[in-house]
């Protein structure tokens, strides 16, 4: 261990933060989890990442790789292990002629949107500035233009990784194509991505905002919303959110957030007005704005507040029943916060086996979130289990990016058996010792 540490101090040009250091407190935490790691490494270069990976492999300590640090399951920190925090690798380089964008493995989507805005470019990503490019892309990426441009990982054209042996490997459709398949959905299982290359798309300003309805109209609004999305232009992406415990729980308004990828008011109105006609509109702030302004600042919950988020997908045939159950749950006291996101569109046009993201045919992805101090979350668990038991016959899979746990059952929901086996073969090649295990883990054996 001592010689591994000496080698690290010699080869590593970034910061090595240990308990007792002034910056240890914030450095030890990810956004949604606390930890007591023995070392937090903040690389400044690919060479530093290689030194960090070799140190981790040689030390035998558990390793967490932190991109934006937003994993609900707290993957970005640990106790007594090593954290490699990629926040220093956040460059965004635009090669405009080809609309190709090269992004450091620790950048956040807010940094990307701000850097691309002056070029009139965007990459459909998520809804929050502080979320990491790394975690979101490696497991999917459901953003404000998902129905038009697909998942964030669908815009990925190459990735450069430091693998478990400290080597640098490039993955694209031409180079190491099986690894390229695996990193598009297989999470951080195969190495540390130091650079992502994306095909960005030209963007205008977009229509974006919130249309709110009374809670009493939830059931009808949700069914009408889902019906409309089935035939709406793919420029329209939407999220329905209800039973917000901070806005009245069962009495909270049903909020339909919309984003229309275009600046033509007539086309936008044609896509959005049918939603306005679904019930009694009590608030409507939809307006034309720069794409970068659709991303919001993520709130960091105070220490001690836990978020338990669970997700699943619904296909066309089960959408009515799933929404009926969710509307009923949302109307009951103590309901979790419920959010339903439209997918489909461009996501479903990509072949099922083109990437390791295995939920192409779903129409909707939804999640429940319970948050509060530990005892409150624990007390809510039996009711939550009962809700998911009701939903079980009608839903399938799970979206890795909205899961607060990483049990074997979770991993099986994220990766159907065929996908898992194919991922395990790639894992055996690039990480046979399972160094990168702090994720929805693919076991090499």
Ligand X SMILES: Cc1cc2nc3c(=O)[nH]c(=O)nc-3n(C[C@H](O)[C@H](O)[C@H](O)COP(=O)(O)OP(=O)(O)OC[C@H]3O[C@@H](n4cnc5c(N)ncnc54)[C@H](O)[C@@H]3O)c2cc1C
Q: Which residues bind ligand X (CB under 6 A)?
A: 30, 65-72, 75-76, 86, 105, 126-128, 131-132, 134-136, 138, 140-143, 187-188, 192-193, 298, 401-402, 438-439
CB nearer ligand X, residue 14 or residue 187: 187
Residues 194 and 161 sit within 8 Å (Cβ to Cβ): yes
Distance in Å, CB of 437 to ligand X, minimum: 9
- The Cβ of residue 294 has, within 10 Å, a number of other Cβ atoms equal to 20
Tokens 């948050």 correspond to 371
Distance in Å, CB of 314 to ligand X, minimum: 17
CB nearer ligand X, residue 35 or residue 134: 134
CB nearer ligand X, residue 88 or residue 334: 88
CB nearer ligand X, residue 59 or residue 216: 59
CB nearer ligand X, residue 132 or residue 224: 132
Distance in Å, CB of 401 to ligand X, minimum: 4
Distance in Å, CB of 225 to ligand X, minimum: 18
Distance in Å, CB of 426 to ligand X, minimum: 14
CB nearer ligand X, residue 86 or residue 323: 86
CB nearer ligand X, residue 133 or residue 215: 133
The whole-angstrom separation of Cα 172 and Cα 355 is 12
Distance in Å, CB of 395 to ligand X, minimum: 18
CB nearer ligand X, residue 152 or residue 278: 152
Distance in Å, CB of 196 to ligand X, minimum: 8
Pairing relation of β-strands 15-17 and 206-213?
A: unpaired
Distance in Å, CB of 65 to ligand X, minimum: 4
Three-state SS across the chain? CHHHHHHHHHHCCCEEECCCCCCHHHHHCECCECCECCEEEECCCHHHHHHHHHHHHHHCCCEEEECCCCCCCCCCCCECCEEEEHHHCCCEEEEHHHCEEEEECCCEHHHHHHHHHHHCEECCCCCECCCEHHHHHHHCCCCCCHHHHCCHHHHEEEEEEECCCCCEEEEECCCCHHHHHHHCCCHHHCCEEEEEEEECEECCCEEEEEEEECHHHHHHHHHHHHHHHHHCCCCEEEEEEECCHHHCHHHCCEEEEEEECCCCHHHHHHHHHHHHCCCCCCEECCEEECHHHHCECCCCCCCCEEEEEEEEEECHHHHHHHHHHHHHHHCCCCCCEEEEEECCCHHHHCCCCCCCCCCCCCCEEEEEEEEEEHHHHHHHHHHHHHHHHHHHHHCECCCHHHCCCCCHHHHHHHCCHHHHHHHHHHHHHHCCCCCCCCCCCCCCC
Distance in Å, CB of 396 to ligand X, minimum: 18
* Residue 309: strand pairing partners: 369
Distance in Å, CB of 219 to ligand X, minimum: 25
Distance in Å, CB of 126 to ligand X, minimum: 3
Residue 4's φ and ψ, nearest 5 degrees, are: -60, -40
CB nearer ligand X, residue 109 or residue 225: 109
In the chain, what is the straight-line distance between the N-terminal and C-terminal CA atoms, in Å? Answer: 27
CB nearer ligand X, residue 265 or residue 301: 301
CB nearer ligand X, residue 244 or residue 439: 439
- Enumerate residues 6+ apart whose C-beta is below 8 A from 316: 230, 363
Q: Nearest Cα to 57, choosing from 436, 408, 356?
A: 436
């Amino acid at each position: 261990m001592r010689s591994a540490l000496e080698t690290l101090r010699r080869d590593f040009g970034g910061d090595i933060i240990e308990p007792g250091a002034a910056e240890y407190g914030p450095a030890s935490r990810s956004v949604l989890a606390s930890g007591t790691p023995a070392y937090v490494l903040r690389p400044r270069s690919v060479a530093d990442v290689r030194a960090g990976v070799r140190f981790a492999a040689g030390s035998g300590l558990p390793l967490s790789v932190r991109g934006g640090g937003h994993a609900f399951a707290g993957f970005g920190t640990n106790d007594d292990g090593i954290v490699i925090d990629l926040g220093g690798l956040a460059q965004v380089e635009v090669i405009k002629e080809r609309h190709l964008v090269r992004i450091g493995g620790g950048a956040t989507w807010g940094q990307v949107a701000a850097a691309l805005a002056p070029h009139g470019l965007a990459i459909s990503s998520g809804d929050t500035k502080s979320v990491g490019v790394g975690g979101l892309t490696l497991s999917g990426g459901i953003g404000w233009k998902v129905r038009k441009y697909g998942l964030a990982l669908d815009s990925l054209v190459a990735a450069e990784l430091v693998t478990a042996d400290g080597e640098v490997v490039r993955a694209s459709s031409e180079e190491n194509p099986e690894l390229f398949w695996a990193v598009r959905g297989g999470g951080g299982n195969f190495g540390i991505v130091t650079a992502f290359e994306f095909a960005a798309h030209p963007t205008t300003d977009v229509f974006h905002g919130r249309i709110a309805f009374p809670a009493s109209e939830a059931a009808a609004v949700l069914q009408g919303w889902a019906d409309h999305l089935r035939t709406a232009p793919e420029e329209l992406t939407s999220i329905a959110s209800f039973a917000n415990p901070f806005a009245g729980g069962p009495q909270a308004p049903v909020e339909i957030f919309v984003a229309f990828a275009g600046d033509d008011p007539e086309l936008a109105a044609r896509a959005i007005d049918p939603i306005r006609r679904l019930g009694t509109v009590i608030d409507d702030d939809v307006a034309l704005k720069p794409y970068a302004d659709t991303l919001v600042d993520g709130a960091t919950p105070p220490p001690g507040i836990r978020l338990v988020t669970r997700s699943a997908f619904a296909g066309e045939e089960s959408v009515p029943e799933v929404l009926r159950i969710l509307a009923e749950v949302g109307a009951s006291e103590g309901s979790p916060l419920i959010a339903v996101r439209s997918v489909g569109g461009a996501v479903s046009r990509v072949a099922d086996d083109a990437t390791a993201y295995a939920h192409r045919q779903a129409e909707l992805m939804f999640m429940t979130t319970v948050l509060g101090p530990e005892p409150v979350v624990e007390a809510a668990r039996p009711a939550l289990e009962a809700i998911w038991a009701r939903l079980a016959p009608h839903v399938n899979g799970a979206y890795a990016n909205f899961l607060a746990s990483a049990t074997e059952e979770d991993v099986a929901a994220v990766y159907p058996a065929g996908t898992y086996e194919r991922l395990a073969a790639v894992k055996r090649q690039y990480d046979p010792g399972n160094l990168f295990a702090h994720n929805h883990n693919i076991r090499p054996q």
